[in-house]
Amino acid sequence: MKWILKIVAVTGICFAPVDASAGSDKLLEFLVEGETHQGKVEALGENDCWLLGRDGRMIRLRLNDVKSFRRVEPKFRPYPAAEMRDRLQREFGKEYEVVGSGRYLVCAPRGRAKRYVELFDDIYRTFRVNFGARGFQLSKPEFPMVAIVLRDRKSFHAYQKVDGVPIRGQLLGYYHPVSNRVALFEPGTVAASKDHTDWQSPITALTLPAGFNAFGSIQAGLEDTIIHEATHQVAFNTGLHTRIGPTPRWVVEGLATVFEADGVRHRNTVGVGSAKSRINRGRFIGFQNYVAKRRKSKSLESFIADDTVPGLSALDFYSQSWALSFYLMETRSRQYAGFLKQIAARDPLQPYTAAERVADFKTAVGNDLSRLETGFLRYFDQLK
């Protein structure tokens, strides 16, 4: 408790034993087990303090391990892009280059970073145009968004170990909310493989615990992986998702799969044309198959309530996440935007129970889930 009181006194953060708050703009330095950590306090709980570093990385400090702390500067400032670039270059060495453009810094094998940074930056711009046109209020990223493109799978696996992400053979890339980086690799001819057997494993096989979940892609082409993971990164950096608190996985993956579709990302189609032009064809076919063969009636509430629905395969999970998110964006965009805002505004250090998830959905979208589920399924019948 002594550290809580001192941190509150220095930062001005309001604290209650059952609450966590952010908002201190002071740059602090903490001494923890012989190591120093600098950043601003992003969330403060009874036992933990989440520190946001100047490079955008989240650092979780156990208050019992804190030996001392001090105020370094009255105002927190992220590292300038040039310093971030130099740090990345030192981290990955001479075999890699770091290229910046717009909101992105991309580290990739020498001679290849420019084409990647152009793709990432284009995804960011079209994301803002698309969701801005639908009434979403997006904040600007506080930090340059970093993407790491490793030269091969072996290098990618080595980086996963450092990042604390379990190694799975089918994983091609991921976004990690703690490091705030996208990581992927150049798969070469391996990317041509379309063995989808792993898609039918239970969804729990794709959860990647590392303090928080990383959000990953399996068995896709490199450009598809970049689009999916960059969408995660932009959503977490523009206020649609929170990097600390638990966001329902269907919300996170649903948004990313909606944006996979060419018709959604194409600037000339934003707000025009029929919904059919914005369908993610692969997810649509998967959802139709799921509804016809495996989906239980009146199962929407259980899907909203829990990230891990027993017996639900990864393919079915992603398909329904896309379908529900697409339906809400196309038919209830204002309510959907309010729902995302409501989730992001939650106390980030408190668990998000099944009852709370359902209650938040009902408050933002509609109280009659049975009626909404009927309309949801009918909507996709009409899109066939």
Pairwise CA distance, residues 369 & 364, whole Å: 12
Structure tokens at 288: 């139709």
Report which secondary-structure segment, H or E, holds 184: strand 181-185
Residues 158 and 58 in one domain: no
Residues 90 and 57 in one domain: no
Largest CA distance in the chain: 63
Number of domains into which the chain is organized: 3
Let me know if residue 252 belongs to a domain: no
Residues 9 and 134 in one domain: no
Counting every residue, how long is the chain?
384
Q: Which residues pair with 61 in a beta bridge?
A: 49
Residues 141 and 192 in one domain: yes
Q: Which residues pair with 165 in a beta bridge?
A: none
CATH of the domain at 103: 3.40.30.160
Handedness of CA 285, 291, 293, 295 (dihedral sign): positive
Residues 298 and 201 in one domain: no
Q: How far is CA 374 from CA 20, 203, 292, 369, 370, in A?
A: 38, 25, 15, 9, 6
Residues 208 and 102 in one domain: yes
CATH of the domain at 27: 2.30.30.100
Q: The domain containing residue 171 runs over which residues? A: 81-238
Structure tokens at 116: 């990647």
Q: Which of 16, 49, 73 is the last residue of a domain?
A: 73
Residue whose C-alpha is closest to residue 239's, from 88, 127, 164, 361: 127
Let me know if residue 261 belongs to a domain: no
Handedness of CA 167, 172, 175, 180 (dihedral sign): positive
Packing angle of the helix pair 369-382, 354-364 (nearest 10 deg): 70
Let me know if residue 256 belongs to a domain: no
Residues 193 and 160 in one domain: yes
How confident is the prediction along the chain (384 residues), in pLDDT tens digits per residue?
555 545 544 554 544 333 334 446 899 999 999 899 999 999 888 888 999 999 999 999 999 999 998 999 999 999 999 999 999 999 999 999 999 987 999 999 999 999 999 999 999 999 998 888 888 889 999 999 999 999 999 999 999 999 888 887 778 899 999 999 999 999 764 433 332 223 233 333 333 333 345 555 544 578 888 999 999 999 999 999 999 888 999 999 999 999 988 888 765 555 556 888 899 999 999 999 999 999 999 999 999 999 888 888 999 999 999 999 999 999 999 999 999 999 998 988 889 999 999 999 999 999 999 999 999 999 999 998
Residues 150 and 277 in one domain: no
Pairwise CA distance, residues 187 & 275, whole Å: 33
Residues 211 and 125 in one domain: yes
pTM above 0.95, yes or no: no
Residues 166 and 35 in one domain: no
Let me know if residue 326 belongs to a domain: yes
Residues 219 and 281 in one domain: no
What would the DSSP string read from start to end of 70-133? Answer: EEEESS--PPPHHHHHHHHHHHH-TTEEEEEETTEEEEEETT-HHHHHHHHHHHHHHHHHHHHH
